Amino acid sequence: MAGNATEPVIEVNEATVRFGKLTAVDRLSLRVDHGEVFGLLGPNGSGKTTLIRALCGLIPLAGGSARVLGHDASREAEAIRSTIGYMSQKFSLYEDLTARENMDFYAGIYGLNVSEARVRQSELVERLGLGPYLDRWSGRLSGGWKQRLALACALLHRPRLVFLDEPTAGIDPVARRDLWDLLFQLAAEDVTLFVTTHYMDEAERCGRVGYISLGHLLAVGTPEELKHWPGVTPSGTRRLEISGGDIAALLGRLRDHPAVRQATIFGQAIHALVDNEVTPESLGLGAAQVRQAEPSLEDVFVTLSRAQQQAPNGGGS
Amino acid sequence: MIRKGLSIKRLVSVTRKEVIHILRDPATLFFAVVIPVLELLMLGYAIDTNVRHVRTIVFDEARTQESRALLRRFENAEDFSIVGEVFTDRDLGEALVSGRARVGIKVPENYSRRLQAGQTGQVLILVDGSESSVAAEAVNVSNAIALSESLDRLVAGRALPVEARPRVLFNPDTRSPNFFIPGLLVVLCQMMAMMLTANAIVREKEKGTLEQLFMTPVRASELMVGKMLPYLGFTVLEFCGIALLMNTIFGVPIRGNFLTLLAIALPFFLAMLGVGLWISTRAQTRDASLQMAMGTVIPSIFLSGYVFPLDSMPTFFRYLAQAVPTTWMIDASRGVILRGAGWAELWPNAAVLSGMAVLALVSSTAMFRKRVS
Ligand SMILES: Nc1ncnc2c1ncn2[C@@H]1O[C@H](COP(=O)(O)OP(=O)(O)OP(=O)(O)O)[C@@H](O)[C@H]1O
Ligand SMILES: [Mg+2]
């Protein structure tokens, strides 16, 4: 039996996935340990979904290796598939089946026997609050409930690792928070979670975060580690948060200023990376308030992407 | 790596889900149940190719006892039905051009005079050739009528020296429904089996549900068999239903054992379902799969001997037809229903169809497996 507490749950070594000429995942290495909540971020088309598919043995690796729960992804895909849960990016349960029928179907597919299935289903229904929706066609549920149902189906067989591909895309903030609360409960029960997302606040909640762009994993670490990565705030520079006044006009002025390396709007404020010598007065900010700021995760990812674009070979760590 | 056989639990789950899909999709149900019955009724009535009651117009210029006797013969023949009488050549021509009648009979004014003078009495039969089978039949029957009228006059009451008495076996009334419906039965079931299964996997591809399934331990073979079972059930029901209609509404008797026919049909259905699934794994969209299914069904129908008799095909096509399952099934269907054939005559059909079924199922499953991983 594979998967004792010390062995990594996911171990990827120099894995490469190609679609014809396109390299969707490029020599990617990664390790996720038991009980972690691992977040994978990256722009559209960066290879997040492809990586997950490759880890489940759905797409063959063109190079390198991947082990999931102690099984080789290319040779032992079936063993992997019976011990993982998967929630795809797009709702992919049967819309013309009721919530209950969908759960019954997946219980059968995972080989649960009838009494086992009944116990597990009522447990999940209670936990996810699905009770009132059991007899509705799943296609007619709202986004948040669809996601919960999909999660329930993915958890029926008590998987030890769950892949969630953008589980909160397109659902409202309250439903989003509820779903994350559920994910943390799962993590507390020793289930390892591999989550992709485009939301920074979700990334902040993950134990560790990886940032992938153009198939390259550019950085991995806890959110704190990433923020203090020296590349984000190079020596001789500092980060300022500028608020108040006409934000749009200020942004234009900052971007034209030679000593400003980056300037981005965050809600009601501008985050700017400026040379140390520059004083707020010399930037001509007028009445705007200026204070020293910590880099956010978004700053980190913006910096990483820019660095990748400027690198001569278009990528690589 | 562990490779157990099929898991019955997974198989049953897939089948049950598929049945729910079918029952909840009114369009599919309509397509599966109502359309074949409508087609049967439409085609069953329409494809009566025996020529009967051809609209006929007469122009009796002679107006004598002899001319009336001749016309009565035409009237009594089932093939013609006299729809009117005209009194000029112009009107006769017009009736044919306008399509009011397909056949025009003109008995000329001198008909009786010539007969009495021992000369040949000529009758003009105008036939609309735009429908070839009607025209050919009308020409034959009119010749026969003229001949028997002549004979009657010549032999005048004595016995005929020779008389041929053809007896058509198996389909004594040479009714064309008897010939066509056993074939139609096969063709309708084939269409349904293929159209439904051609959808079965593409639908999941289009909706994205297949990706979720691929992330579970379900096997390609379990998906295939699980999806096939409900469609097999549907097709068998359809087959029995159409056979019942054939027997009751169209009065086609089933001379052999229907269970024998059903047993031979089973591998045929499996082969069709296999081809449907094969299409379904290849196609990326439902439209594409439907087109591929149609593109397979139509040539197989034309080759199968359902429309054109095999014996009248060029040699190459006759051999090609042997590779089409429909050919073997239609032959078996006509054999059991019309000729009362049994296992002794039809075992080769059953054997060939079984081989074809195995081939179709194995290759479609192999095809599917390649695409899973
Ligand atoms: N089956 C496929 N065939 C060919 N190219 C593919 C296939 N699947 C993905 N790609 C390509 O691989 C790249 C990575 O795609 P992927 O779906 O993994 O991105 P992603 O990070 O999940 O993006 P998103 O945030 O939009 O979901 C893209 O350029 C995509 O076009
Ligand atoms: Mg994706």
Range B337-342 average pLDDT = 87
pLDDT-derived band of residue B360, with 50, 70 and 90 as boundaries? very high
Tokens 């080769």 found at: B348
Q: Give the contacts of B277 (CB within 8 A, at least 6 positions apart).
A: B197, B198, B200, B201, B224, B227, B228, B364, B368
| A88 and A188 fall within a common domain | yes
| Residue B313 pLDDT > 90 | no
Report CB contact under 8 Å: B373, A77. yes
Residue B340: what pLDDT?
86
| Residues 344-373 in B contacting A (C-alpha not used; CB under 8 Å) | 372-373
* Cβ–Cβ < 8 Å for B71, B157: no
Per the domain annotation, does A177 fall within a domain?
A: yes
Same domain? A186 vs A153: yes
Residues A238, A106 share a domain = no
Residues A139 and A280 in one domain: no
Integer Cα distance of B168 and B184 in angstroms: 22
* Chain A contact present for B9, CB below 8 A: yes
Q: Are residues A214 and A286 in the same domain?
A: no
Query: What CATH number is attached to the domain comprising A279?
Result: 3.30.70.100
**pLDDT digit string, tens, across residues B122-162:** 888 888 888 777 788 788 888 888 888 888 777 776 777 77
Q: Ligand 1, closest atom to CA A50?
A: 18
Residues 6+ apart with CB under 8 A from A225: none
Say which CATH number the domain at A186 has: 3.40.50.300
Look at strands A237-243 and A216-221 and give their pairing. Answer: unpaired
Rounded Cα distance, B357 and A144, in Å? 46
Angstrom distance (rounded) from CA A200 to CA A301: 10
Domain boundaries, chain B: 3-47+174-372, 54-155
A1 inside domain:
no
Do A49 and A184 lie in one domain? The reply is: yes
Answer yes or no: is pLDDT of A5 > 60. no
* CA distance readout (Å), B343 to A145, B263, B335, B347: 58, 10, 10, 5
Alpha-carbon distance of A30 to A215, in angstroms, equals 13
Does A79 sit within 8 Å of B207, measured CB to CB? no
Alpha-carbon span A85 to B212, nearest angstrom: 10
The verdict on A52 and A80 lying in the same domain is yes
User: Which of the four pLDDT bands, split at 50, 70 and 90, describes residue B168?
Assistant: low
Q: In whole angstroms, give the CA distance from residue A262 to residue A245.
A: 19
Domain finish residue from A226, A242, A276? A226
Distance CA B215, CA A85 (A): 8
Task: Examine residue A316 and state whether it is found in any structural domain, yes or no.
Answer: no
Output the residue whose Cα is nearest ligand 1's atom 26. A44
Domain end residue (candidates: A173, A205, A226): A226
Closest residue in B to A112 (Cα–Cα) = B9
What string of H, E and C letters represents the secondary structure of B106-149? Answer: EECCCHHHHHHCCCCCCCEEEECCCCHHHHHHHHHHHHHHHHHH
pLDDT band at A87 (very low <50, low <70, confident <90, very high): very high
Specify whether A126 is located in the same domain as A256.
Answer: no
Four-residue CA torsion sign, A137, A138, A143, A147: positive
Q: Of A273-282, B72-81, B309-318, which range is least confident?
A: A273-282
- Rounded Cα distance, A87 and A203, in Å: 18
Asked whether A221 and A56 are in contact (CB, 8 A), the reply is no
Q: Which residue out of A16, A18, A50 has the highest number of ligand 1 atoms within 8 Å of its CB and is therefore the one to mutate?
A: A50
**Dist. CA B228–CA A181, nearest whole Å:** 42
What lies within 8 Å, CB to CB, of B207 at 6+ separation is: A92, A94, A95
A48 is a domain residue: yes
* A160 within domain boundaries: yes
Do A161 and A271 fall into the same domain?
no
Q: What is the pTM of this model?
A: 0.80
- The amino acid at B241: G
Is residue A204 a part of any domain in this protein? yes
Q: How many CB atoms lie within 10 A of CB B351?
A: 13
Dump pLDDT digits (tens) for B243-297. Answer: 998 888 888 888 889 999 999 999 999 999 999 999 998 888 889 998 999 899 8
**Residue A260: which domain range?**
233-294
Per-residue pLDDT at A314 exceeds 50: no
pLDDT digit string (tens) for B170-191? 666 666 677 788 888 999 999 8
Radius of gyration of chain A (CA): 22
| Tally of structural domains, chain A | 2
What average pLDDT does the segment A112-128 reach? 91
- Classify the complex by whether its ipTM is higher than 0.85, answering yes or no: no
pLDDT for A104 equals 94
pLDDT of residue B181: 85
Q: What local confidence, expressed as pLDDT, does residue A313 receive?
A: 56
Q: How many whole angstroms separate alpha carbon B56 and alpha carbon B115? A: 24
Half-sphere exposure of B157 (CA within 13 A, CB side): 0
**Cα B274 to Cα B224: distance, rounded to the nearest angstrom:** 9
CB contact under 8 A, B1 and A56: no
Domain boundary among A226, A253, A274: A226
Question: Given this model, what pLDDT does residue A163 score?
Answer: 95
Q: Which protein residue has the closest C-alpha to ligand 1 atom 6?
A: A19
End-to-end CA distance of chain A: 35
Residue A62 located in a structural domain: yes
Considering the domain architecture, whether residues A200 and A259 belong to the same structural domain is answered as no
CB of residue A50 inside a 6 A radius of ligand 1: yes
- Tell me, what amino acid is at A280? P
Q: Give the CATH class of B54-155.
A: alpha beta
Whether residue A5 lies inside any domain: the answer is no
Query: Does one domain contain both A132 and A238?
Result: no
DSSP reduced 3-state for B2: coil
A140 and A19 belong to one structural domain: yes
- From chain A, the residues in CB contact with B200 under 8 A are none
